Structure formats: C-alpha cells, structure tokens
A and B are shown apart, each in its own frame.
Chain A
Amino acid sequence: MTRTKASGRSIRNLSALVLAAAVVTGAAACAGTSAEPAAGTSAPDASASATATTAPAGTITVFAAASLKATFTKLGTDFEAANPGTTVTFSFAGSSDLVTQITGGAPADVFASADTKNMTKLTAATLVSGTPVDFATNILEIATPPGNPAGVKSFQDLANPDITTVICAPAVPCGAATVTVEQATGVTIPAVSEESAVTDVLGKVSSGEADAGLVYATDVQGAGSTVEGVPFAESSAAVNTYPIAALSATKSPGLAQAFIDYVTGADGQAVLTTAGFGKP
C-alpha cells in the first residue's frame, strides 16, 4: 500500500487552509465586505473565491485502486490547484485490500475501485453514501518486449505454445478478464505463468523472459517504452468498469462529492483518457 500526498508541501497547504477558512468565515460573518486582500496571496483570485464558496475547504482521503496511482496523483494535484485550501490524500492498494481496510474502519472519504465487484461489497455493507458512479473503463491489451521479438499480432497468436505467454491468475481481476476473453473467443492460452499482479506480468515481459503478457491497456501505457502494446478487438468481451463513490463515514461530504465531480468531469476524463482508460 502506498500513501501519497497529492501536494508535498504540507506547511504551505496548512497556511493556505487557514487563509481559505478565514475567507469563508469572513464572507459569512460580514457579507459584502471584500475578501480580496486575504485571498490575494493564493492562486488566481477569481477561481479561488468562486470555489471557496461552492466547495468546502479541508482534507479528504481517497482510497483508490493501485492501477489508478499515476492518474489520481495527477488529478489530486490538479484538483488542489483548482480548489485552493483543499488537500487530497491518497492511499493506493489492491481494491480488495482497500475494501478490507474500509470495512475495518479505515478513515476514507472516497473509494475508487478497479471493478464493480469490490464496490458492491461496500454498497452491500451500506458503507457507501449515494450511488457509485462509473468513471472509467479498462480493456486488456497484449504487452510484448520492445520490438515484439516473437511477432505477436493477434489474440489468436497467444494460443501458440511456442510463444511464451504470461497472464494474470484467474483469481485477480486482470486474470478474470483474461478468462472471459478466452471463453468469448474459444482461444485457450497455454500460459507459462499465472501471476498474482499485473506488475509481475509486466516484469516478465519487459525483462524478455516472456514473449507476451496480457495486461490492461493502461498498464501498457504506464510502462512506457519498456513494453510494446498490441491492442486486439476481442478485448471488448471483458470491459472492466471503474466506479467511484463517497463513503458514508466521511466528515467532508461536500469536498468528497466535489472530488468525484472533478474525476467524472471534463478535466478528469481528459487525464484518464491520456492514461489509456476508456469512457464509462
């Protein structure tokens, strides 16, 4: 599990928070009095005062699936910049681990899951406030070592036992998706290894031990030049949907909702698309 602060300078954040609080209370106490001098020290004046009145300032903690680490870290920074006085803290881990932690009372405000199954566990336990919203999709893609030495062109190629293919174990989400695609296409992959995590699949491919691996499109994107992606049409048989929801235990429901709106909004979607995610 990794815990990251979207913005590293906590002392600066704290002072910004105090300022923002002063703006809000000041605005409430003496309406009509200009808050300009106080707010003037932070970012663009217009947006600052605008958000300060719509979104409450404060800190929220977002529990997000490990596959969202890169995108959500960026989204958090962007969100903080757009909403001065707010701080978004992240905890990234496997979705099922996060569900275990939330059920165990971990202080989370928002949960972004890599699949609907884990989100359903939380809704069933009535730990979710409102209805989860789907904000992204992800599909499988073939990853090959740079240069694609085995010449993998299609999903059918993976049935060739001469092509060393590594996949995820059926017990983990990417492996479940792999099984779904295999069943839909009737192609059986004689995998040499069924890994427990996407990173292990990528590791075997990027090191050249395996000729091909089945991972998510976003993983191929995130791995940069260490692997090459081979998209395939059959991946549509298993589209993985990412839902996000505020949790009922949150003490900042307004800020939590603001963050969810940001993720599902135009800015958030643009960042997700760049990272290889599909539209919900």
Chain B
Amino acid sequence: MSFSFSATVARRGFDVSFELAEGETLAVLGPNGSGKSTLLNLIAGLLTPDAGEAVLGGETLFRGRVFTPPHARGISLLAQEALLFPHLSVLNNVAFGPTSAGVKRADALRTARRWLAEVDASEFETRRPAQLSGGQTQRIAVARALAAEPRLLLLDEPMAALDVAVAPAIRRMLRRVLEKRTAIIVTHDVLDAFTLADRVIVIDRGHVVEDGPTRSVLEQPRDPFTAGIAGLNVLAGIRTAGGMRTAAGDELQLPGPADVTPGTACTAAIRPSGIRISGERPAGAANSLRRVVRDLEPRGDLVRLGSDDLAADVAPALVADLDVTPGSSVWFSFEPADATLYATAR
C-alpha cells in the first residue's frame, strides 16, 4: 500500500511532502510543536489541509475539493494514550473496527481474539479498560488498531506514556506486528526509530529537514536537532587533507570517505560517550579541543557536560576529581574511531 503525501496548512506554517513504499515503516522525528501531530491528523482525516494531495494505494485521501472522511480512509491511529472506549469490554474494544466495517459479530469477535493473542493480552478480554495497567491498555489499543485491518497504521508516540519498565516489551511487540506493514510512527525516542523504522524523516517548524534510511540519518545527522535526538555532537567545517577544519578554526584529525574531497563542506558526528575529559591537554590524543563547560546534567550513572558545541558523558568521580563546575575550562578529546565524517550535502 504505497502512500504519497503533500500538504500545506498556512496558519500552522506547515508544508510537508514525502512518500512511503508498500510495507515500509517511517519514523517521524521532530521537536515539540514542529508539526508532527498536524501531519498525523492530516493523514487520518481529522484536519483539512489548505492545499495538497494524498494518495494511499491508488485512492485519493484529499486533493482540491476531494476529501475522504476519516472512517472511509482505512487508516488507524494509535495515540499516545490508549483511549480504549471505557464503556466496552476489552474484547468489544478490539472488535470495534471489524463490527464498524459490517463484519458479522461472531467473525468480528474471532478476529478480535486473534489480535488479542497476537499482543499477548488474551487473558484480559472480559475486563473493562479501567481495570488495566498502562502497558496492558496500550497492547490492547494496538490490537484494536490492527483488528480494523488498516491499510496504513499511524502511531503517535505509542510508548511516551508508558513506564520505562514496560516500554521494551511493547516495543518488541510493535516490532513484530509492524514488520511488512505500511506504518508511520511519530516518536521522540531514537531507539524507536532504530528498532521499528526503515526510514526517518525529521520535521522542524513544519518542514522536512532530513529524509533518508534510519541509520544514515541518525548516524550522520546534518541537522542539530537530529544530532541531538540521535545523541551525537555535530561539528560543521571544511574538509582538509588529514581531517577537517571546524567553523571555529580547530583542526581535527579524521579519516573520511574518498568522495568528500578537500575544500568541500563536511560534517563530523561525535558520540558523547567517546569524548574524554581532562584538566590538562592529554598527550597523544588525536583531537583535543578546549571548551568552557556550560552545564552539568546527570544521565543515568554518567554526567553530561555541555559546552557550546560539544557534549561529553563522563563518570561522576572524574567530574569531582577535576572539580568541574559551569564556567570551568576543560579539554574535550576524542579518537577518530569515535567520530564519523561525511559530506554536508547528501
């Protein structure tokens, strides 16, 4: 079920187009307010665009005066909150899609039971939504969305409202059910994108700023937001013979692909965990940059030190030993193996 989409909504400064191949799962990343929800609402038919065109499997969803209402689109929307119908049992929730499509009740219940089994929630079929935990309701919401046999499945941050403890199980389940399925998943979590999506688009202020296969977009980001969400430092500069010269004038030693010729614009992505911190310039380090620490932020068992353009994840003990506080000046060092260099224009 291939899908092409192009729409503008003037009052929200929204202008997005992309295509999706049959069976492909697309992750949509972007900061809050970038237009991700607008995108999903436009696709689902809960919002009307000012202009544009969307075609799903040869059927026009909207173009000019043509507008297919939500219930006739064959697109299921799985929201952040499960939104199970509170007055229906779990089984009837899941059977809602089939019965709405006119399937006979017995057949609809059979379909519902099959999907409940698929998401490991068969035991809850007689319960009311109020009697379930967050993880359970989200499983059932997935079953309900899939039981409607959507041609396109939309997922709006399906794991954002869940405990970190249950998210991995739901993610595994989604990975299983999304295989070979045409789907769009809006997420904040780079892990979701890596595990679930074949392709990623990044939206910022209503426009697509990145579009490509998941790995290449997330490992070689050219947009600061993408770098941030991918957890990478990015430095822009000019390719030199041994590496690159950053905009700030620092010379870096980095191997790069042959097609990035010296003198062209290039970008280096550096993993924060690969950056070492020291009070004195370390001897023998390939690349060392002196930076003023702007902030310190605990991250699990590490502390993230942020400067204007580089962030490093270091052990708290080291932070204490070096007596790092905001305003301290320290050396950020990394080896070529912890960085990737690529042409800025892709």
**In their complex, do chains A and B touch, with some C-beta pair under 8 Å?**
no
